[in-house]
Amino acid sequence: MLQLSLLILLIPFAGFLILIFFGKRLPRQGDWLGTSFLGITLLMSVFLLISKIASIPGDTLSYSFSWVIIGNPDAGGFSVDLGVMIDNLTVVMLVVVMLVSFLVHLFSIGYMKDDPRYSRYFSYLGLFTFSMTGIVLTDNLLMMYIFWELVGISSYLLIGFWYEKKSASNAANKAFIVNRIGDAGMFIGIMILFIHFSTFSFDAIFSGIQAGDLPFQSTAWLTAAGILIFCGAVGKSAQFPLHVWLPDAMEGPTPVSALIHAATMVAAGVYLIARMFPILTAEALLVIAYIGAITALIAATIALTQHDIKKILAYSTISQLGYMVMALGVGAFTAGFMHLVTHAAFKAGLFLGAGSVIFAMHHALHQKHDHKTDAQDLRNMGGLKSRMPLTYWTFLIFTLAISGVPLTSGFLSKDEILAGTLAFSSLNGHYLLPVIGFVVAGLTAFYMFRLFILTFHGKHADESRVSDLKESPFTMTIPLMILAGLSTFVFYSFNPFAASGGWFFSAIERPLSLVPEALQPASAEVFAQAVSALHTPALILSIIIAGAGIFGAVWVYQWKKTSAVQISEKFGALYRGSFNKWYFDEMYQAVFINGTFIITKVLRWFDETIVDGIVNGAAYVFERFSVVNRWFDEHIIDGLVNLTALGTGVLGKVLRKVQTGKIQHYLAFVVLGMLVFYFIII
Amino acid sequence: MEFTAILFYVFSITTLGSALFMVFCKNIVHAAFALMFTLLGVAALYVLLFADFLAATQVLVYVGGILILILFGVMLTTQGFSSNLKALTTNLLPVSVVMAFVAAGMMYVFYTSSWPVVVMDEPDSTITGLGMLLLHEYMLPFQITGVLLLIAIIGALLMATRIKHPN
Amino acid sequence: MENSFLQWLAQPELTHYLMLGAMLFCIGITLVLTRRNVIMVLMGIELILNSANINFIAFSRYSVITLDGHLTALFLIILAAAEAAVALAIVLNIYNRFKTIDIDEISLLKG
């Protein structure tokens, strides 16, 4: 199994290397190579998942070797190990990554067909898949960090793939820089643990903490380490307040958005929290839960008013990631992770569906030589149902899934999360969390159906514009159909109303908290009891709220009983706030960027007057001093040196007389020397 | 006065006289012939000391080999006999005075010190004994000397034949 | 005293040979130090080697070492032969290079 996991890790990397160096020379620019490599690794990971869950569900396999050894590990030194670890979390995540990556490869064959950097696109996808697999498989924090940065760079490369567009390269920079803030926190967190334990291995750190060996013997440091590592997740999973990069990241190709910015990379943060769950204290978890809740609410409210189809999906992604983070924070570990999996399927589907729509719109507009109309704007769509039936029906399934309608996978996981927040509030009294959860569920249903209705139903604004619009090719619709199938409940639980009986809940169990007793969150048994008590009310409530959201959207946009414009005018301030994304970008611009400029100016003044003054003063003093020094050098030191040289020269002049170059003189010296000995002996 | 004593003095005077002639003569070819007489005198003294094989070797090697070699050298390097006649020596007087004193000192030392003289039996021939020694106890020096000679011959040939006349 | 000296003269033995060797040696040295012709210097060296040989043979005649002295003298002769061959080759080279064999004029190493 371990060999298989290493193969899964290295095959995408091989694909990356081959495509980046030889991609242009391969037939069809090597798209078949990347796709088939991913197909192979997908089959391998499915095999790994089935064999792991079916035969050894309780075991954790790991293999590691020493990479660098510094000092003697037994006495003060440490060794840096590299290794892989396989548990149930890993294999499930692997299948998610490989599946979405494979489908995105397939989809991209159609979507990126005429791109000038076609082969490079596939090589970047390979690099991303390799890095993401590394994150999933690693058994230590160092490798986690390395691969964390590698997914960062591949995300950067893919967001800025069309770097001729200024907005795309800006978005790539923004994503990278915002992520860097989170990663800095994560790095500090890792170092806190490393300095104390002298190891990066999860296993060693966990067992150390379980034995009561806290970083610097302080619970505060443990909480701080947990929250700092969570900072990495905040950046990568686009949580408040670092969520601003993800909507801009939609400048990349749409399949990339589906792969990286919806299904896998942004879920890496959630995966990280799940990995670190055993050492997170109750306080750290509370912070995580609130960050998740705030993110979910903010993103959902922004999504209500946007017009760009991909922007709406981006905010919806942020909102759903907030859900997952909140679920992990409240202790609904399995529900949160399950939402990651189900969300990966339906959100990748939504993005690919949107990609299909954009692709078709773009081609239709291209036929009419219309380059002004935005192919991504909802206001330019409508009435696409009859022209793109496959996309329409699959999109409907995804929309139902994200809205949390029964019989879909989204319903299962979302219902469990809501029940988890209810249970948490009943145990700890944090009533804000379930309220936000339910509100966001309603908002999600509303904006998703708004998007759906505006895209596919009604009449097109200008029918002539889309007269040539066709359904996308099969390489694009097949991934949609596969993902639509995976968005139904049967793949996760046979009971469409409760996930807790399915294989997923038995395979993924909440790990035991290893932190000291006083800092532990409510134990898994207590929490499960509370959940089961509150499950039915949560279920009914979530169905009602989702129904209300859908009804509202249909009321406003399908039946047009109330004008959307009227509503927006009624809530003027709120509407403007939501439409402008609550002014986060502007605020960051004002506070951080302009603030930096102001600080820079102050620092410049400080530099020019005070620091330069000190430097110049010191330089003056040194100049005076060096004049004295020079005199000393020239007269005393040089005098001594010259005297020595003179003495040597005079001696040399005397001694060179001896060297006449005549053999007989030398011989005479030999004879004289011999005579001297001769007389000494006598 | 025994017969051997007379022979000793005759050969000694021959040897030393021709050696002194070498010091003071002006013609290099004459000096070479004086060297021949010196070497022959030394060979005769070897005979007086019952070193018959060595005396023969002395005549063969020195007179027959080295001296001929030296004469060749003289002929190859001297452009006519008259050119090198002038200023043949340097510092002749001080050196000969010093050396005369040195010789006198050494002779005084030899005369005053009493050597433990053991007069051995006069052997019939030394050749057998020398052959036995050479192929037994002195095997290694013998071989090494052979190698040394080979190297010397090759080296001398190499140096002498590599001469390139610039003009 | 006069008598004993004459008696000593009439009985040539080790001391006489040693004195002969000493004189020959000094003549050789004089030759080496005073002659300006390289070949004459080489002849002086031969004289020095011969004086050493006389000593070896004399000691082997008048002491217990017997034939070992002979052998040493033999090796010395061989060495002298080798030396003469190499030295003359060098002399020829010098002559070719400087067009003279006057060693006073060959003083490239003069300091």
Mean pLDDT of the region A165-172: 87
Cα nearest neighbour of A679 on chain B: B105
CA separation for the pair B121, C96 (Å, rounded): 54
Q: Which residues of C touch B49 (CB under 8 A)?
A: 17, 57-58, 60-61
Radius of gyration of chain B (CA): 21
Distance between CA atoms of residues A91 and A80, nearest Å: 25
Give yes or no for a contact between A379 and A461, defined as CB atoms under 8 angstroms apart.
Answer: yes
pLDDT of residue B164: 63
Whole-number Cα distances in Å, B96 to A476, B89, B100, C69: 118, 12, 6, 31
Under 8 Å CB-to-CB from C89, ≥6 apart: which residues?
B155, B156, B157, B159, B160
Q: Is C14 at the interface with chain B, CB within 8 A? A: yes
- First and final C-alpha spacing in chain A: 96
CB contact under 8 A, A682 and B109: yes
* CA C59 to chain CA mean position, Å: 17
Residues in C closer than 8 angstroms to B88, CB to CB, are: 35-37, 40
Each residue's pLDDT tens digit, A1-54: 778 888 888 888 888 888 888 877 787 777 888 888 889 999 998 988 888 888
Query: How much of chain A, in percent, has pLDDT values that exceed 90?
Result: 3
Contacts of A667 in chain C (CB under 8 A): 32-33
Contacts of B72 in chain C (CB under 8 A): 88
- Residue B74: CB atoms within 10 Å: 22
Cβ contacts of residue A542 below 8 Å, gap of 6+? A404, A411, A414, A415, A418, A438, A441
CA distance A255 to A17: 21
Residue A73 has pLDDT above 70, yes or no: no
H helix intervals, B49-166: 52-57, 67-77, 92-112, 127-135, 139-161
- Rounded Cα distance, A397 and A491, in Å: 15
Which chains form contacts with chain A, at 3 or more CB pairs under 8 Å?
A: B, C
Could you tell me if A460 and A381 are in contact, meaning their C-beta atoms sit under 8 angstroms apart? yes
Average pLDDT score over residue span A460-486: 79
Q: In which residue are the tokens 């050196």 written?
A: B95
> Residue C97 maps to which CATH number?
1.10.287.3510
Is C43 inside any structural domain? yes
The whole-number pLDDT of residue B150 equals 92
Residue B87, chain C, CB below 8 Å: the answer is yes
Distances (CA, A) of A391 to A114, A353, A357: 22, 6, 8
CA gap A239, A243 in Å, rounded? 5
Determine the distance in angstroms separating the CA of B105 from the nearest CA of chain A, rounded to an integer.
10
* Alpha-carbon dihedral angle through residues A547, A549, A550, A551, given to the nearest 10 degrees: 80
The model's pTM: 0.63
How many beta carbons lie within 10 A of that of residue B6, not counting itself? 12
Q: How far is A682 from chain C (nearest CA, A)?
A: 16
Q: How many residues does chain A have?
A: 682
CA nearest neighbour of A532 among A500, A563, A564, A555: A500
What's the number of CA atoms in the CB half-sphere (13 Å) around residue A97? 33
Q: What is the CB neighbour count within 10 angstroms for residue A36? A: 13
**Tokens 């052979």 label which residue?**
B146
Cα–Cα distance, A350 to A452 (Å, whole number) = 10
Q: Is it the case that residue A527 has pLDDT exceeding 70?
A: yes
Pairing status of strand A61-70 against strand A78-86: antiparallel
Write out the CATH class of domain B1-100. mainly alpha
- The domain total for chain C is 1
Q: Is B90 on the interface with C (CB under 8 A)?
A: yes
Output the pLDDT for position A88: 85
Confidence of residue B18 (pLDDT cuts 50, 70, 90): very high
pLDDT for res B79 = 61
Kindly list the residues from chain B whose CB atom is less than 8 angstroms away from the CB atom of residue C61: 49-51, 120
pLDDT tier at B35, thresholds 50, 70, 90? very high
pLDDT band at C50 (very low <50, low <70, confident <90, very high): very high
| pLDDT band per the 50, 70, 90 thresholds, residue A498 | confident
Band of residue A71 on the pLDDT scale cut at 50, 70, 90: low
**Which tops the pLDDT comparison, A524 or B111?**
B111
- Within 8 A of A675 by CB-CB distance, chain B residues are 102
Peptide bond into B116 cis (omega under 30): no
Identify the CA nearest to A238 among candidates A307, A155, A123, A165. Answer: A155
Res. C3 pLDDT band, cuts 50 70 90: confident
| Domain assignment present for C110 | no
Q: Does residue B12 sit in helix, strand or coil?
A: helix
Highest mean pLDDT among A221-225, A417-421, B17-21, B84-88 belongs to B17-21
Chain A: residues touching C (Cβ < 8 Å): 655-664, 667-668, 671
User: Which of B90, B102, B109 faces A664 most closely, judged by CB atoms?
Assistant: B90
B76/C95 CB distance under 8 A: yes
Model confidence at A70: pLDDT above 80: no
Beta carbons of A468 and A367 less than 8 angstroms apart: yes
pLDDT at B39 exceeding the cut of 90: yes
- Minimal Cα–Cα distance from C33 to chain A, Å? 5
Do the Cβ atoms of A655 and C32 come within 8 Å? Answer: no
| Pairwise CB contact (< 8 Å): C111 & A668 | no
Subunit contact A664:C111, Cβ cutoff 8 A: no
Q: Residue A26 carries which DSSP code?
A: S
- Which 105-144 residues of chain B touch chain A by CB within 8 A? 105, 109
Among all residues of chain A, which has the CA nearest to that of B89?
Answer: A664
Contacts of B84 in chain C (CB under 8 A): 37, 102
pLDDT surpassing 60 at residue B166 = no
Average pLDDT estimate for B7-32: 89
Under a CB-based contact definition with an 8 Å cutoff, are residues C43 and B21 in contact?
A: no
Spatial CB neighbours of B85, under 8 Å, sequence gap ≥ 6? B26, B27
* Lowest-confidence pick of A53-57, A266-270, A418-422, B59-63: A53-57
| Torsional sign, CA A248, A250, A256, A259 | positive
State which residue of chain B sits closest to C88, comparing Cα positions.
B73
Taking the Cβ of residue C29 and every Cβ of chain A, the question of whether any pair is shorter than 8 Å is answered with: yes
Q: What is the pLDDT of residue B148?
A: 92
| Residues 6 or more apart in contact with residue B149 via CB below 8 angstroms | C78, C81, C82
Indicate if the pLDDT at residue A465 is higher than 80: no
Of A657, A661, A664, the CB nearest to C109: A661
- Average pLDDT over chain A, rounded to an integer: 84
CB contact under 8 A, A675 and B109: no
Flag whether pLDDT at A461 surpasses 70: no
Tell me the C-alpha to C-alpha distance, in Å, between residue A246 and each of A132, A173, A265, A340.
18, 12, 11, 17
State the pLDDT confidence band at B75, using cuts at 50, 70 and 90.
confident
What ranges in A554-662 are assigned the alpha helix state H?
564-570, 572-579, 584-588, 595-606, 612-632, 638-656
In a domain, residue C40? The reply is yes
pLDDT of B1: 59
CA distance A612 to chain C (A): 59
Q: Write out pLDDT tens, residues B85-113.
A: 455 677 788 888 988 988 898 888 888 88
Inter-chain CB proximity B90 and A675 less than 8 Å: no
User: Taking the CA of residue A331 as centre, how many other CA atoms within 13 Å lie in the half-sphere pointing to its CB?
Assistant: 27
pLDDT in tens, A566-601: 777 777 777 777 777 777 777 777 777 788 888 888
pLDDT in tens, A631-671: 888 888 888 888 999 999 998 888 887 777 777 888 888 88
Domain boundaries, chain B: 1-100, 125-167
Contact A558, A551 (CB under 8 A): no
Element (DSSP H or E) covering residue A528 = helix A524-553
d(CA A238, CA A243): 4
Positive or negative torsion for Cα A233, A235, A240, A245: negative
Q: What is the DSSP letter of A264?
A: S
| Candidates A671, A672, A674, A681, partner chain B, best to mutate (most B CBs within 10 A) | A671
Q: What is the mean pLDDT of residues A160-187?
A: 88
Distances (CA, A) of B17 to B58, B91, C52: 19, 21, 18
Average pLDDT of span A415-434: 85
B83 has pLDDT over 70? no
Would you say B102 and C17 are in contact if contact means Cβ atoms under 8 Å apart? no
* Residue A205: band (very low, low, confident or very high) from pLDDT cuts 50, 70, 90: confident
Question: Is B90–A682 a contact, with Cβ atoms under 8 angstroms apart?
Answer: no
CB nearest C40 (choices: B31, B92, B116): B31
CA dist., res. B137 & res. A369, Å (int):
113
Residue C58 domain flag: yes
Angstrom distance (rounded) from CA A465 to CA A374: 12
Model confidence at C54: pLDDT above 90: yes
Q: Are C62 and C13 in contact (CB under 8 A)?
A: yes
Is C25's pLDDT higher than 90?
yes
Q: Chain B contacts of A678, Cβ < 8 Å?
A: 102, 105
pLDDT per residue as tens digits for the range A214-237: 777 788 888 888 889 888 888 888
Segment A480-491 shows an average pLDDT of: 86
Compare all CA atoms of chain B with the CA of A668 and give the residue at the minimum distance: B95
Residue ranges of A 639-668 with Cβ closer than 8 A to chain B = 664, 668
Q: State both tokens at C2.
A: 């006069």
- Chain C nearest-CA residue for A671: C29
Smallest CA–CA distance, residue A637 to chain C, in Å, is 31
pLDDT value at residue B59: 92
Distance separating alpha carbons of residues A547 and B160, to the nearest angstrom: 117
Task: Classify residue C68: in a domain, yes or no.
Answer: yes
DSSP state of A592: I
Tokens standing for A511?
């790990």
Q: Which of A328, A356, A445 is nearest to A89 (CA)?
A: A328
Distance between CA atoms of residues A331 and A343, nearest Å = 19
Phi, psi of A512 (to 5 degrees): -65, 140
Q: What is the pLDDT of residue C27?
A: 93
Residue B84: pLDDT over 60: no
**How far apart are alpha carbons B73 and C42 in whole angstroms?**
11
| B124 secondary structure, DSSP code | S
Any chain B CB within 8 A of the CB of C18? Answer: yes
- Chain C partners of B76 at a C-beta cutoff of 8 Å? 92, 95
Q: How far is A645 from chain C (nearest CA, A)?
A: 19
Q: Is residue C8 part of a domain?
A: yes
* pLDDT mean across residues, chain B: 84
